[in-house]
């Protein structure tokens, strides 16, 4: 299990790195899908099978497909790829890289200083426990999430309409 | 089943998050920016699940679910905005859309 | 039938809502139907209710309908409730019926105005508010109506707001009446804190129980209510707004500034007559105010050149009569004069409006003349109104109502000497200025060519109001002339009858001679000066400076300008550059400077903003960790 975790972690990091550096949008999306699948594996090894399944269904399934549709609609040709390459000059990476390094150092410190968790249990937390929690103490949050999705639906519908003018 | 050290899982989440951040900061194409945002959100969810697993509580996964629905809503609105932006500016370059300059 | 009472004010309110929300999109015909129809239905309903009320009088001669409790705070629980008794029924009938005729008239008068639906929306709101005022069973609801009609008055005076002069007139009316309204509000506070209720009936009973006659609280409360009445009814010393209020369209002057709203003060005093009986000094003050006002306004009316301003001063003067009547305890006579005045003054205003509109909005009487032939219907109805206003004996309604007031003063004996003298002098002035107007406008040579005559919608209200101005007086006649007492018996359930215990001032024939003779003398003088020996401009009184003094309304505007407006403006100007402002100006400049600096960060570049967020996150994390 531990081996699978580290393997998946390495795949996830590598795929993510490739995803953010590709110039071709479709390639990037494929790497993104690989990264998400790897993260789903990580979730599985962490004892969260329900979350892993959802990660595959919604992230790798729905969201990536949505991206693919948009990329298809915008028809990003070779000209765009060339322009992307022109955008990604090495000097562009300096400031974000530095910022991110600083943040990384800080995050590592935070994680390292966190006190030991109370004996991590080995058994997985199944969908039943999640469902009980979701519709028990978190019922109101579920309502809010449904409202948020409704708002997203309406917003996307409104923005996606063709201009009348 | 050997438990995985939660620190490692959280560290993985941090790495993914920062990779996403780099993507947001570096890329000028709006679609790539949105993709990077997805990576960041996903990393956050991973951190929650890891923390939940460490404490043996379902709450981490519950939060992951909420983050998931938030990401779904965000990406649908965001992609609609990208389409809008493309029909308005005829480009996806975020630097071109600087009409909000003060 | 009586339980439909709530519909009477609701219908015009509904009309207002429809017109205010959708009026712009409705065709004119529909706007007329909604605007006139709502008031018309209301008038019909009040006639039916009046019939029911008279045929089968409810218990205690009053019908109370409480719709809901308005608010309930610490024992203070005014309701939205209506009380129908003889007094409010009389007011309701006048408001809805005269209001309906004036609305009908407006459909033609305002036909070509671009604010057609706005006009009817305001008018409907006015009628609704006026009905709330007269039907209210507690003083809070009454005050709501009181302020509501003030608002409508303001909106309608400034209806043609393109002209800044109209705006100024509207503001003046609003601010001057506000002085009175503030006094009235304080009066209501006193009443509530002292007696613990604002329900009118309850209040009157408690006042009688707890306050001795002439007690300080009663005097204060009555005086403050009088302040409100004086402001709304344009009496001395707050009368200056009414002549300027003529800037509004003529139907507005007829409805608001002659027939209904300005008599709200009379209604208030009559409604709270118990309070005024408890404070005899204030009641005497009411009499003095009325007497002075009627004389001053009568003199001013003599020298005006604008036909509407003559009518405005005459309105002030006639309301002075009503105050005079209230002041000497002739409650019934005051309400009687209110009713007949509503008829004939609305008639005069509407006829004047017909004249004005057919002369292309010419209001100067010296540019009119000879309109008798050109506008026959208008002439005859105006003549009826003028005769009623100047109390032509026997045939006009104005004679009977004025006679009732004068007769009451006469029968008071010595105490009635001052009011009686003022009354008959006023009657003389009334005859003079009224027929000066008639002769200038309708006789002599034509100076301006009249346009085509007005149409049906203008003539019908004129004729109906003309009929009311004649026959409306026959409901109450003096003992020597048939002794009809329909009106007295009707309102007698609410208003105490005039006591006639005193010895009269003199023999009855002397009274009648004066009451009949002086108005006739005034008419004769007007006939002499303006018809038989017409001279220009200054005709009548040779004293030119006196003429100018009266023309400006006894210089009240000038005095108020000097006493209040000028010092206020000066103080405001001094205050404009004070030290306190300096501090705030520095704050303002600082924020402008900061804005210029911070503006640089607003590059519009998404990635810069994202970097900013990341940098912020790094800094906050660093702070958290290094703490």
- Residue-level pLDDT at B74: 92
- State the Cα–Cα distance between residues C303 and C405, nearest whole angstrom: 26
- Residue-level pLDDT at C501: 54
C606: chain B residues, CB-CB within 8 Å = 33, 94-95, 97
- State the Cα–Cα distance between residues B92 and C198, nearest whole angstrom: 70
How many contacts, defined by CB atoms under 8 Å, are there between B and C?
34
Q: Please determine, for residue B67, whether its predicted confidence score (pLDDT) is greater than 90.
A: yes
State the smallest CA–CA distance between residue B28 and chain C in angstroms: 8
3-state DSSP of C197-217: CCEHHHHHHHHHHHCCCCCHH
Q: CA of C612: which chain B residue's CA is closest?
A: B25
| Torsion (CA) C174, C180, C183, C184 in degrees, nearest 10 | -90
- Residue-level pLDDT at C608: 84
- State the Cα–Cα distance between residues C430 and B88, nearest whole angstrom: 76
Confidence band for A120, pLDDT divided at 50, 70 and 90: low
Neighbours of A161 (CB within 10 A): 10
Continuous H helices in A63-126: 64-74, 78-87, 94-113
Q: Burial of C489 by CB count in 10 Å (0-12 exposed, 13-18 middle, 19+ buried)? A: middle
- Residue-level pLDDT at C534: 61
C607: chain B residues, CB-CB within 8 Å = 24-26, 28, 94-95
A110: chain C residues, CB-CB within 8 Å = 621, 625
H or E stretch including C531? Answer: none
- State the Cα–Cα distance between residues C506 and C416, nearest whole angstrom: 11
Q: Any bridge partners for residue C84, and if so which?
A: C63
Chain A residues bordering chain C (beta-carbon distance below 8 Å): 95-96, 99-100, 102-103, 106-107, 109-110, 113
Query: A159–B39: do the CB atoms touch at under 8 Å?
Result: no
Query: Mean pLDDT, to the nearest integer, of A23-44?
Result: 91
Best of B45, B52, B61 to substitute, by most chain A Cβ atoms within 10 angstroms, is B61
Out of C602, C610, C614, name the one closest to residue B102 (CB). Answer: C602
Query: A152–B7: do the CB atoms touch at under 8 Å?
Result: no
Out of A95, A96, A106, name the one closest to residue C621 (CB). Answer: A106
Which one, of A13, A95, A109, lies nearest residue B42 by Cα? A13
Best of C599, C602, C605 to substitute, by most chain B Cβ atoms within 10 angstroms, is C605
Strands (DSSP E) contained in C110-214 are none
Query: A103–C611: do the CB atoms touch at under 8 Å?
Result: no
Query: B16–A16: do the CB atoms touch at under 8 Å?
Result: yes
State the smallest CA–CA distance between residue C612 and chain B in angstroms: 10
Q: Please determine, for residue B45, whether its predicted confidence score (pLDDT) is greater than 90.
A: yes
State whether residue A155 is helix, strand or coil: helix
- Residue-level pLDDT at C111: 82
Query: A103–C618: do the CB atoms touch at under 8 Å?
Result: yes
- State the Cα–Cα distance between residues C121 and C619, nearest whole angstrom: 61
- State the Cα–Cα distance between residues B65 and B71, nearest whole angstrom: 10
- Residue-level pLDDT at B83: 87
Query: B49–A134: do the CB atoms touch at under 8 Å?
Result: no
- Residue-level pLDDT at C515: 76
State the smallest CA–CA distance between residue B96 and chain C in angstroms: 8
Query: Averaged in consecutive runs of 10 residues, what is the pLDDT profile of chain C (627 residues)?
Result: 84 91 85 90 91 81 83 82 87 90 88 85 91 89 91 89 86 89 91 85 86 85 90 85 86 84 88 87 89 88 85 90 87 87 89 84 77 82 88 81 83 79 87 86 75 78 87 76 72 68 67 78 80 58 69 79 85 78 88 89 82 90 85
Query: B3–A121: do the CB atoms touch at under 8 Å?
Result: yes
Query: A99–C621: do the CB atoms touch at under 8 Å?
Result: no
Query: A99–C618: do the CB atoms touch at under 8 Å?
Result: yes
Q: What is the DSSP letter of A59?
A: I
Query: Mean pLDDT, to the nearest integer, of A14-43?
Result: 91
State the smallest CA–CA distance between residue C583 and chain B in angstroms: 28
Chain C residues bordering chain B (beta-carbon distance below 8 Å): 598-607, 610-611, 614
Q: Please determine, for residue A162, whether its predicted confidence score (pLDDT) is greater than 90.
A: no
- Residue-level pLDDT at A119: 55
pLDDT tens digits along A88-108: 778 778 888 888 888 888 888
C-beta separation of C557 from C565 below 8 A = no
Q: Please determine, for residue A129, whether its predicted confidence score (pLDDT) is greater than 80.
A: yes
C600: chain B residues, CB-CB within 8 Å = 102
C-beta separation of C476 from C339 below 8 A = no
- Residue-level pLDDT at C277: 86
Query: C604–B94: do the CB atoms touch at under 8 Å?
Result: no
- Residue-level pLDDT at C543: 64
The counts of H helices and E strands in chain A are 8, 0
- State the Cα–Cα distance between residues B37 and B19, nearest whole angstrom: 10
Q: Any bridge partners for residue C476, and if so which?
A: C485
Q: What is the DSSP letter of C506?
A: S
- Residue-level pLDDT at C559: 83
B28 touching A, CB under 8 A?
Answer: yes
Out of B25, B99, B100, name the one closest to residue C607 (CB). Answer: B25
Q: CA of C602: which chain B residue's CA is closest?
A: B102
| Torsion (CA) C170, C176, C181, C186 in degrees, nearest 10 | 150
Query: B73–A151: do the CB atoms touch at under 8 Å?
Result: yes
The dihedrals phi and psi of C168, each to the nearest 5 degrees, come to -60, -40
C605: chain B residues, CB-CB within 8 Å = 94-95, 98
- Residue-level pLDDT at C304: 84
- State the Cα–Cα distance between residues C523 and C436, nearest whole angstrom: 8
C-beta separation of C124 from C532 below 8 A = no
CA dist C464 to C137, C194, C300, C459, Å?
32, 47, 30, 9
- Residue-level pLDDT at A163: 63
State whether residue C485 is helix, strand or coil: strand
Cis, peptide link before residue C510, omega less than 30° from 0: no
pLDDT tens digits along A56-91: 999 888 899 999 988 888 876 777 778 878 777 787
Chain C residues bordering chain A (beta-carbon distance below 8 Å): 611, 614-615, 617-618, 621-622, 625
Query: C606–B100: do the CB atoms touch at under 8 Å?
Result: no
- State the Cα–Cα distance between residues C304 and C492, nearest whole angstrom: 39
C-beta separation of C527 from C439 below 8 A = yes
Domains and CATH numbers, chain A: 2-91 (1.20.120.1200)
- State the Cα–Cα distance between residues C344 and C140, nearest whole angstrom: 31
Which one, of C314, C359, C377, lies nearest residue C451 by Cα? C359
Residues in chain A: 165
Buried b (16+ CB within 10 A) or exposed e, A88-116: beeeeeeebeebbebbbebbeeebeeeee
pLDDT tens digits along B71-94: 999 999 999 988 888 888 888 888
State the smallest CA–CA distance between residue A1 and chain B in angstroms: 7
- Residue-level pLDDT at A164: 57
Q: CA of B94: which chain C residue's CA is closest?
A: C606
CA dist A95 to A91, B26, C611, C612, C620, Å?
8, 9, 9, 11, 18
- State the Cα–Cα distance between residues C86 and A82, nearest whole angstrom: 93
Cis, peptide link before residue C237, omega less than 30° from 0: yes
Query: B18–A153: do the CB atoms touch at under 8 Å?
Result: no
Query: B95–C610: do the CB atoms touch at under 8 Å?
Result: no
Question: Which residues 50-79 of B have a C-beta within 8 angstroms of A?
Answer: 50, 52-62, 64-66, 68-77, 79
């Amino acid at each position: 299990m531990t081996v699978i975790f580290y393997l998946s972690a390495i795949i996830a990091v590598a795929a993510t790195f490739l995803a953010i550096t590709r110039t071709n949008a479709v390639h990037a999306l494929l790497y993104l899908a690989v990264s998400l699948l790897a993260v789903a594996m990580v979730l599985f090894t962490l004892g969260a099978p329900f979350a892993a399944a959802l990660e595959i269904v919604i992230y790798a399934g729905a969201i990536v497909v949505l991206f693919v549709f948009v990329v298809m609609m915008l028809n990003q040709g070779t000209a765009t790829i060339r322009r992307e390459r022109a955008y990604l000059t090495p000097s562009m990476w300096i400031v974000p890289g530095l910022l991110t390094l600083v943040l990384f150092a800080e995050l590592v410190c935070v994680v390292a200083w966190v006190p030991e968790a109370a004996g991590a249990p080995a058994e997985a937390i199944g969908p039943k426990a999640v469902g009980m929690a979701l519709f028990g103490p978190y019922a109101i949050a579920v309502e809010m999430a449904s409202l948020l999705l409704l708002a997203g639906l309406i917003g996307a519908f409104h923005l996606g309409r063709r201009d009348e003018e | 089943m050997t438990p995985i050290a939660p620190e490692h899982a959280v560290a993985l989440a941090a790495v993914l998050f920062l990779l996403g951040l780099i993507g947001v900061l570096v890329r000028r194409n709006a679609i790539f920016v949105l993709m990077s945002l997805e990576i960041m959100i996903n990393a956050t969810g991973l951190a929650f699940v890891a923390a939940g697993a460490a404490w043996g509580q379902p709450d981490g996964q519950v939060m992951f679910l909420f983050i998931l629905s938030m990401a779904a809503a965000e990406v649908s609105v965001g992609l609609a905005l990208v389409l809008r932006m493309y029909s308005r500016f005829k480009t996806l370059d975020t630097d071109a859309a600087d009409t909000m300059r003060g | 039938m009586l339980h439909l009472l709530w519909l009477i004010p609701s219908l015009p309110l509904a009309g207002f809502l429809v017109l205010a929300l959708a009026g712009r999109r409705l065709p004119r015909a529909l706007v007329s139907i909604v605007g006139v129809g709502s008031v018309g239905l209301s008038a019909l309903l009040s006639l039916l209710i009046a019939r029911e009320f008279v045929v089968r009088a409810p218990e205690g001669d009053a019908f109370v309908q409480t719709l809901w409790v308005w608010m309930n705070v610490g024992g203070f629980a005014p309701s939205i409730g209506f009380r129908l008794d003889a007094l409010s029924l009389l007011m309701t009938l006048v408001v809805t019926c005269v209001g309906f005729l004036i609305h009908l008239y407006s459909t033609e008068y305002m036909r070509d105005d671009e604010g057609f639906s706005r006009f009817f929306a305001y008018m409907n709101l006015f009628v609704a508010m006026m009905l709330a005022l007269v039907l209210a069973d507690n003083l809070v609801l009454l005050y709501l109506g009181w302020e509501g009609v003030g608002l409508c008055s303001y909106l309608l005076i400034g209806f043609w707001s393109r002209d800044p002069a109209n705006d100024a007139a509207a503001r003046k009316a609003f601010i001057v009446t506000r002085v009175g309204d503030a006094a009235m509000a304080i009066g209501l506070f006193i009443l509530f804190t002292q007696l613990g209720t604002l329900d009118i009936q309850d209040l009157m009973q408690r006042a009688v129980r707890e306050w001795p006659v002439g007690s300080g609280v009663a005097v204060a409360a009555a005086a403050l209510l009088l302040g409100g009445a004086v402001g709304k009814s344009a009496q001395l010393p707050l009368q200056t707004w009414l002549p300027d209020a003529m800037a509004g369209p003529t139907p507005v002057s007829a409805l608001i500034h002659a027939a209904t709203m300005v008599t709200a003060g009379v209604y208030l005093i009559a409604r709270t007559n118990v309070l005024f009986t408890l404070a005899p000094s204030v009641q005497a003050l009411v009499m003095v105010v009325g007497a002075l006002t009627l004389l001053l306004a009568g003199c001013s009316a003599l020298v005006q050149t604008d036909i509407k301003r003559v009518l405005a001063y005459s309105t002030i003067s006639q309301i002075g009569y009503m105050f005079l009547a209230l002041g000497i305890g002739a409650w019934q006579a005051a309400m009687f004069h209110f009713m007949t005045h509503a008829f004939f003054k609305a008639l005069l205003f509407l006829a004047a409006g017909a004249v004005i509109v057919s002369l292309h909005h010419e209001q100067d009487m010296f540019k009119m003349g000879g309109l008798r032939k050109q506008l026959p219907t208008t002439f005859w109805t105006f003549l009826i109104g003028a005769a009623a206003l100047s109390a032509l004996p026997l045939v006009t309604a104005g004679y009977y109502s004025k006679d009732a007031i004068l007769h009451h003063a006469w029968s008071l004996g010595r105490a009635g000497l001052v009011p009686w003298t003022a009354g008959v002098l006023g009657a003389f002035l009334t005859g003079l200025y009224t027929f000066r107007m008639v002769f200038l406008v309708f006789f002599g040579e034509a100076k301006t060519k009249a346009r085509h005559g007005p149409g049906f919608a203008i003539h019908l209200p004129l004729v109906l109001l003309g009929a009311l101005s004649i026959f409306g007086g026959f409901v109450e006649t003096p003992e020597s002339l048939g002794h009809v007492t329909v009106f007295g018996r009707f309102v007698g359930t609410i208003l105490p009858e005039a006591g006639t215990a005193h010895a009269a001032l003199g023999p009855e024939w002397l009274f009648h001679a004066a009451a009949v003779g002086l108005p006739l003398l005034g008419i004769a003088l007007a006939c002499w000066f303006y018809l038989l020996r017409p001279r220009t401009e200054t005709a009548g009184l040779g004293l030119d400076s006196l003429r100018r003094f009266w023309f400006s309304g006894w210089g009240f505007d000038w005095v108020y300008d000097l006493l209040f407006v000028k010092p206020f403006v000066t103080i405001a100007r001094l205050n404009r550059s004070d030290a306190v402002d300096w501090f705030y100006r520095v704050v303002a400049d600082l924020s402008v400077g900061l804005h210029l600096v911070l503006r640089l960060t607003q590059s519009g570049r998404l990635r810069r903003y994202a970097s900013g967020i990341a940098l912020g996150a790094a800094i906050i994390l660093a702070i958290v960790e290094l703490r």
